[in-house]
Structure 1
């Protein structure tokens, strides 16, 4: 029979009502002859009371953690109020109790304080997801997804799907390949993004498209990245870069307001890529705190510091009081992020101390602009970009260690004015975003003459030091797309084989178009205040790319491989 209430719903207004509840046994206590059961569902907990004269008393006494039960009873006022739960002022005196299923002792605790290892939690993910904190993450994810969808529909967008089985195209990461049984030796590729398909929707004349899209990239995992992920994929025709950004701002404003009751300050600040790298050492800077970077070569070139010679020196000043152990940890962090060394200077009672103090003189304090209590942290590296990046990682780490950030403070910024290309060590070029990004109108003529100077009509939306989404105005002219492919070194035969359909489609009156993809998993992670993206994905992979619950990847039957005409090389 249908239950009347959920387990987080009852209160003193329900006293004397007969109710029927269902759920899991969270806890059972036998006190002075009375059996107390905390009945749990995803909404909360209700305390049940079973009296000794109750015919269900023996059954109640036998209940164990995670048994599934149904109970009917009368709501009464609770003698000892529990102010920690919404139902803490009432309890239900049971008159009927039904056991729906038994449970073995769970290998993890079904509570928010569970301290099981992550691998154990992932192995028993179906139990881990019973924990209230995990259910809250996924419920919040649903609310965020629906708010985004609602905002885009109000903006006049249509929700369309794109294929999962597509063509392998070079987009920056490794493809997941799917062998074809019908065409032996040929493969589909799982989409790294719906990029090409959504552009073809624009070619077809659907001016506003979005999709909550599953994407796949065969990359090394980290705390905010998984092999398969979800992005809010958005594309529109006839809008300028500015108009696209304004649309995304309205979507974000609606979502944060509806789900968190938080009002984003609009318009969102814009920061050129070059300024972001110079001030913060990152193309996804956390603007919730200062600690801005500066270059110090002009000062230190006057001193004979051996490991500074012919190096780039960048750093920042803080009031941090760091121990030697902490400085050693930060040094390892710098080296892990391609910096070569970390040096520091501290001014205490007007005197300098630190790892390079012996190289300095009395004029150093004024030259460096230091004041009492300042700690100058200096990252040394081989070039501007790698040194800035290492200093930026150091800055972010120190901001968190010093408590300069709050998870409930949301600081957005647009990173704009990107270079169109990145240069490889051998001098060749790769697309800084992807090869469908349009150069700025004033730079299109440089694609064939001096592509290194091209700037892109690209933009990233950044939140609290994380890239929340990236987008661009796309190339809509066939000859410009051809020139872009050639600039990144693709031969004509490769262009025809991999992208012939796109280049051909652009010849048939393609409108100017552009868009953006928001990382839904990362967005939910930030909006729920967790540091680990696995918390907001129902069934994630480990850092070593394994599904411990399903035991995947796994071997398959020889008959399946035979059908696909696949065999493997044996490794010695």
Structure 2
């Protein structure tokens, strides 16, 4: 069995004898003439089998999803029937061979987008036959190859790190693996290679990368999976500008290679404070406008009590909204911590509806500052700064989807200067925003241990693409004394720090170069690049939104003997 070429590569063989192989996508009988649409990973080709052909009897046996081989002459279709690409050609079969029969598929592959996701996941090997699914895998492969080529040329080396390691606090629950050789003890699957890539810098590797498998036991959503891939990069003797520059050049290379798209140079930047203050999100979608306007001063000490005492009052101006749409946006605001969503509508040179009777004295200034158009709507959030901007940010994103505001294409932005620490209200203590090895800005070091340590800025940065965080990283702490201060700020005693990270702290004291890096959410990046609605669409064999593999039926129970060998008992 030897095919001449993939179907999409047959054009040079016009009017020649070729052999093709693939799956029967469709079979049509016109009297005694048989037409078969043959599919391989590159496309569809019409095969015509005429009544007197030696191939006729074999072709007559073929049905949907049978695997078949045809040999015959490739020719142009009649001019009136020609379509673009492979649709311009047909194969006149001289011989046919049925290579493998198939049961009736549980769903029509041509209607895959309309089939329930659970069915598609259960029969993923059929779902992946669909051209649109294969295209996503192809983009994934092209991006992977482009990354490897670029980083290799930049002097990086690909180093694998352990899959079985120690459980350390990294922000999500670990997946644990019992050890048969050490009863009662457990490995953890890595949430990221964070400590190991820093150890590689201490070891003198200097420039490392890896497409790393990572595991996090966290609540799932469209852009999360329990096991996922991240591009991991770490560099020595660099500062933040070096890291951002490399990543910009890499992402531009990836887009040009895989999609022939030119991204801007340089990427725009926002500080964390600017992003939250203007868009209510640390991953703002810049494909549309709707920036916030601060109107705290207009209401301070005024008659409208809900706004008069608020630490922050923000407003965004949008087009005309129905009351039903406003109610839906209010639901979004409440889901994100707001007590409600105040609104008014522009009516000539004044305001009407909603809270208009409370804001009449400042209506002129509101119209001037926001530039809201006639009939347009002003949406307000008020309260403590973080809660107010976060709630209005969620409303802004909901407006994007409700009114289809996002432009086509790709918009990138760096978000920088994240807080080093954030206060955990539930546990009444400070914790790290990214991870405990992120370096603070040197000029903020004096704030550790003071009432102002919440103001410490991290040398941390996120790479945002179309409103998705596709990458994040930081300059790392390389000074053991700064690391001690950081652990102290989050309530770790020296004993606790050594109990959790002793091997790493010993290495840190062994001569550590200045270093930093980044991790890209590889699946999420491919999702955005391919226009998929979920990362499940760009992973060959994903879990569903409950963390289950419906095809392999995992997770599953194991027998008592396996548990006994591991020294593990399962509670009823």
Q: Which residue of 2 aligns with 1:86?
A: 85
Structure-to-structure mapping, 1:247-286, within 5 angstroms? 247-286=246-285
After superposition, the Cα gap between the structure-2 partners of 1:139 and 1:236, relative to the gap in structure 1 and judged at 3 Å, is same
Equivalent residue, structure 1, for 2:328 = 329
Measured after TM superposition, the shift of residue 344 of structure 1 is: 1.2
Tell me, yes or no, if the aligned pair for 1:72 and 1:96 is still in contact at 8 Å. yes
| Equivalent residue number for residue 412 of structure 1 | 412
Q: Deviations over 1:487-525 (max 9, x none)?
A: 111233321121011111111111111101111111111
What aligned pairs does 1:200-215 form with structure 2 within 5 A after superposition? 200-215=199-214
Tell me how far apart the structure 2 counterparts of residues 108 and 225 of structure 1 sit (CA, whole Å).
26
Aligned to 1:340: 339
- The alpha carbon displacement at 1:357 in A equals 2.2
Contact 2:329 2:395 in 1 (8 A): yes
Q: Aligned pair 1:534/2:533, yes or no?
A: no
Q: TM-score, normalised by structure 1?
A: 0.95
- Structure 1 residues 65 and 114: CA distance shift in structure 2, 3 A: farther
Once structures 1 and 2 are overlaid, which stretch shifts more, 528-537 or 344-353? 344-353
Comparing 307-316 with 235-244, greater Cα deviation is found at: 307-316
Match of 2:423 in 1: 423
Matches within 5 A, 1:372-391: 372-373=373-374, 375-380=376-381, 382-391=383-392
- Greater share of residues in helix: 2
Q: Deviations over 1:453-495 (max 9, x none)?
A: 3221111111111111111111112222122112111233321
1:491-510 matched pairs, under 5 angstroms: 491-510=493-512
Equivalences for residues 445-456 of structure 1 within 5 A: 445-449=446-450, 451-456=453-458
User: Matched residue of 1:515: which SS?
Assistant: strand
> Once the 2 structures are TM-superposed, how far is the Cα of residue 361 of structure 1 from its aligned partner?
2.9
311 and 154 in structure 1: CA distance in 2 versus 1, 3 angstrom threshold: same
Match of residue 195 from structure 1: 194
Deviations 1:121-151 (A, max 9, x none): 1111111111100000011010011111111
Task: Count residues in correspondence.
Answer: 568
* 2:71 match: 72
Are residues 303 and 482 of structure 1, via their aligned partners in 2, closer, same or farther at CA, if it must alter by over 3 Å?
closer
- Match of 1:87, SS state, is helix
Residues 379-437 of structure 1: per-residue CA shift (max 9 Å, x gap): 435421122111111112213333332342x2211111121101111541111110000
Q: Residue 102 of structure 1 corresponds to which residue in structure 2?
A: 101
Within 5 Å, which residues of 2 pair with 1:225-244? 225-244=224-243
Superposed CA deviations along residues 305-329 of structure 1, whole A, max 9, x for unmatched, are 4654644564444342222222221
Matched residue, 2:127: 128
- Residue 395 of structure 1 aligns with which residue? 396
CA distance in 2 between partners of 1:254 and 1:70 (Å): 39
Does the 8 Å CA contact 1:81/1:88 hold for their aligned counterparts? no
**2:36 equivalent to 1:3:** no
Q: 2 CA distance for matches of 1:335 and 1:235?
A: 40
**1:371, CA displacement in angstroms?**
4.8
Asked if structure 2 preserves the Cα contact closer than 8 Å seen for 1:238 and 1:512, the reply is yes
Structure 2 counterpart of 1:24:
23
Deviations 1:84-134 (A, max 9, x none): 441222211111110111111111222265411111111111111111000
**CA–CA distance in 2 between the matches of 1:99 and 1:143?**
33
Query: Structure 1 stretch 420-429 or stretch 134-143: which is displaced more?
Result: 420-429
Q: Which moved more, 1:554-563 or 1:47-56?
A: 47-56
| 8 Å contact kept, 1:342–1:378 | yes
Among candidates 474, 480, 483, match of residue 481 of structure 1 = 483
Q: Deviations over 1:330-367 (max 9, x none)?
A: 11111112222112111133442222123343652344
Relative to structure 2, which stretch is displaced further, 560-569 or 139-148? 560-569
- Give the superposed CA RMSD: 1.9
| Paired residue secondary structure (2:145) | helix
Aligned to 2:473: 471
1:148 corresponding residue in structure 2: 147
CA 1:448–1:298: 2 relative to 1, 3 Å: closer
Residues 113 and 351 from structure 1, CA distance in 2 versus in 1: closer, same or farther, beyond 3 angstroms?
Answer: farther
Q: Quick check: 33-42 or 362-371, which moved more?
A: 362-371
**Do the aligned residues in 2 keep the contact of 1:312 with 1:380 (CA within 8 Å)?**
no
User: CA 1:129–1:314 in structure 2 vs 1: closer, same or farther (change >3 Å)?
Assistant: farther
In structure 2, C-alpha distance between the alignment counterparts of 1:392 and 1:311, rounded to whole Å: 18
**Aligned equivalent of 1:361:** 360
Indicate conservation of the 8 Å contact 1:45/1:85, yes or no: no
User: Residue 5 of structure 1: CA displacement?
Assistant: 1.9
Task: Give the equivalent residue in structure 1 for 2:319.
Answer: 320
Partner of 1:438: 439
Normalised to the residue count of structure 2, the TM-score between the two structures is: 0.95
1:545 is paired with a residue whose SS is coil
Deviation at 1:259, TM superposition (A): 1.2
C-alpha separation in 1, matches of 2:123 and 2:218:
25
SS at match of 1:250: helix
For the residues of structure 2 that align with 1:197 and 1:363, how far apart are their CA atoms?
57
Quote the Cα distance in structure 2 between the aligned partners of 1:76 and 1:414.
52
Structure 1 unpaired stretches of 5+ = none
8 Å CA contact 1:525, 1:536 repeated in 2: yes
Aligned partner of 2:158 in structure 1 is 159
* Range with bigger deviation, 425-434 or 349-358: 349-358
The 8 Å contact of residues 25 and 39 in structure 1, kept in 2 or not, is answered as yes
* CA deviation vs aligned residue, 1:167-194 (integer Å, no higher than 9, x gap): 0001111111111111111110111100
> Quick check: 428-437 or 256-265, which moved more?
256-265
Query: Structure 2: how far apart are the matches of 1:292 and 1:406?
Result: 16
1:68-89 deviation digits (Å, cap 9, x = unpaired): 0011111223126555441222
3-state DSSP of counterpart to 1:341:
coil
Q: 1:560 aligns with which of 554, 562, 565?
A: 562
Change (3 A) 1:173 1:161: same
Separation (CA, whole Å) in 1 of partners of 2:118 and 2:310: 43
**C-alpha separation between the residues in 2 aligned to 1:82 and 1:230?**
45
Cα distance change, pair 439–228 in 1 and its aligned pair in 2 (3 A) = same
